[in-house]
Amino acid sequence: MILHLIRHPQPVVEPGICYGRLDLAAENAAAVATRLRAELPAGLPVWSSPLRRCRELAELLHPQPQLDERLAEMDFGDWEGLAWDAIPRAELDAWAADVAGYAPPGGESPRQLQQRALAFVADLREPEAVIVTHAGVIRVLLAHFRQLAPADWLNLKFDYGSRTDIIVPR
C-alpha cells in the first residue's frame, strides 16, 4: 500500500504555543492544495484528521474526504494552548527522558498516538491513498515503518504542506 502523507498548512497560532488538539485554521490552504493536486495521482481517496487545519485542505483535494479521529494530532492535555515556556520544566524534562512513553497531564503519549495511527493504517483497504494529517502522526508512522528507536523520532521533521510517501507492507 502506498500512503501519501500530507502535513497540514501552517496553522494560525502565535509562535511558541503548544497545540495538538486545538482546532486551528490554516494559512494558504488553497495554494497548498493547488500544488499538491499537481503532484498527486488523480482520483485517489483522501482521509483526514477532523481538525480544521487538515480538514480544510482535504476538502480542497477531494469533494468528500473521509474524516477519522485516529488521524488527529497528539493530545497535549493540560499543555494545550500554553506557551512552551509556561509548561513546568519538570514535565518537559520527564517528556525528554521518555520521548515515546511520557503523556502530558491529561493527554496522551507519543506511543499512544502511534498505536491509534497504526490502527488506522491497519484498517485501510485501499492500495493507495492520501492522508492529510499532522507532523506527530506522520512522525510516529515513519518511526514504526523505519523501525526507529524513540530517541530518533524527534529527528523526523516535516514542513507545513509537505508530502511524505511511504510504502506499507501488507
Q: What is the pTM of this model?
A: 0.94
Q: What is the predicted pLDDT for the residue at 169?
A: 87
Q: What is the predicted pLDDT for the residue at 141?
A: 97
Please tell me the distance from the alpha carbon of residue 167 to that of residue 115, in angstroms, as a whole number.
Answer: 18
Q: What is the predicted pLDDT for the residue at 154?
A: 85
Q: Angle CA(144)–CA(83)–CA(111) in degrees, nearest 5?
A: 20
Please tell me the distance from the alpha carbon of residue 128 to that of residue 50, in angstroms, as a whole number.
Answer: 20
Please tell me the distance from the alpha carbon of residue 104 to that of residue 30, in angstroms, as a whole number.
Answer: 34
Please, which residues have CB within 8 angstroms of residue 85's CB and are 6 or more apart in sequence?
Answer: 16
The residue ranges of the chain whose pLDDT is under 50 are none
Please tell me the distance from the alpha carbon of residue 32 to that of residue 35, in angstroms, as a whole number.
Answer: 5
C-alpha cell recorded at residue 149 = 528507536
DSSP 8-class letter at 17:
B
Distance, CA of 154 to chain centre: 13
Q: What is the predicted pLDDT for the residue at 102?
A: 97
Q: Which among 112, 131, 134 is positioned nearest to 121, based on CA atoms?
A: 131
Largest CA distance in the chain: 48
Q: What is the predicted pLDDT for the residue at 67?
A: 98
Q: What is the predicted pLDDT for the residue at 73?
A: 97
Q: Please give the domain boundaries of the chain with CATH numbers for all domains.
A: 2-167 (3.40.50.1240)
- State whether residue 41 is helix, strand or coil: coil
The residue type of 104 is P
